[in-house]
């Protein structure tokens, strides 16, 4: 299964070309460097959907929060399933 996760764009670093444009993205407190080549219109504080280190599209903050809520629910379910 492939999973793309929303994150908030904290900063942008322009590269020598559009394909080298990167940004620091926060996923609920975990910050990763992400390639922004597919979202040239993304700005700081936008939410982007990220898969394997590439931001694929922008998403509004309400949709991002719904995804975060589902991920939190899945973690809780995983903890319940792990108990003997």
pLDDT at 34: 97
Residue 81 has pLDDT above 60, yes or no: no
Q: State how far the Cα of 84 lies from the Cα of 81, in Å rounded to an integer.
A: 8
**Per-residue pLDDT tens for 53-76?**
999 999 998 888 888 788 777 774
Q: What is the pLDDT of residue 77?
A: 44
Give the start-to-end residue ranges of the domains of the chain: 5-82
Task: State which fold the 5-82 domain adopts.
Answer: SH3 type barrels. (2.30.30)
Q: Name residues whose C-beta falls within 8 Å of residue 83's C-beta, 6 or more positions apart in sequence.
A: none
Query: Which strand (E) or helix (H) includes residue 68?
Result: helix 61-82
Positive or negative, the CA dihedral 28, 3, 39, 36 is: positive
**Predicted local confidence at residue 76, as pLDDT:** 47
Q: Where are the beta strands (DSSP E) in the chain?
A: 5-13, 22-27, 30-35, 47-51, 54-59
- The reported pLDDT for the residue numbered 1 is 52
The per-residue pLDDT of the chain, averaged, comes to: 85
Q: Is the pLDDT of residue 25 over 50?
A: yes
């Amino acid at each position: 299964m492939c999973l793309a996760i929303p994150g908030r764009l904290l900063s942008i670093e322009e590269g020598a070309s559009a394909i080298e444009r990167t940004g620091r993205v926060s996923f609920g407190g975990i910050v990763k460097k992400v390639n922004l080549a597919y979202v040239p219109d993304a700005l700081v504080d936008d939410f982007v959907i990220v898969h394997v280190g590439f931001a694929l599209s922008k998403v509004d903050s309400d949709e991002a929060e719904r995804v975060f809520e589902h991920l939190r629910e899945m973690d809780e379910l995983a903890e319940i399933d792990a108990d003997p």
